[in-house]
Amino acid sequence: MTDLARKLQRVYVLLDDGERRALTTQQVTTTQYAMLRTLADGPPEGLPVSRLAERMLCTRGNISRVVVRLENAGLVRTGSHGEDQRLVLVRLTDQGHTALRRAREAVAAADRRRFAGLDTDELRTLSILVDRLTTTLAADLDR
């Protein structure tokens, strides 16, 4: 592993831990938060479990376990697809939208604090470079 990859990995660990800490008051895990965000970004009728797994880079089994926990908490609802009864769609409930809004606020407050050491230009440059790296890494997954 290159020095840069190690540094990026360390940044990921620190960001993940900070997000986890910010979410402790919201009663959702980082994985649950990621799923709520993914569902909110999807169509209003919801997303199939397979699409959730694809977007979150997880196995269907892992996604199914998270869905069950979120459904038990009243944050998501599952149902059959109208045209294909074999497809299970997952969508946010009103309670899920509220939980996501609160979680986003908690994470945003933590991010403002954690990124306070960088000025606006540095943040903009970093964002551009991370976007380029993300595009490159995602393209490499398709090889």
Res 121: pLDDT: 98
43 contacts 54 by C-beta, under 8 angstroms = no
Res 80: pLDDT: 78
Q: pTM of the entire structure? A: 0.84
Read off the CATH number of the domain in which 128 is found: 1.10.10.10
Q: Which domain holds residue 130?
A: 3-141
Query: Of 36 and 142, which is predicted with more confidence?
Result: 36
What digits encode the pLDDT tens for the residues 81-135? Answer: 667 667 889 999 999 999 999 999 999 999 999 999 999 999 999 999 999 999 9
Q: Which of 86, 102, 105, 85 is nearest to 94 (CA)?
A: 102
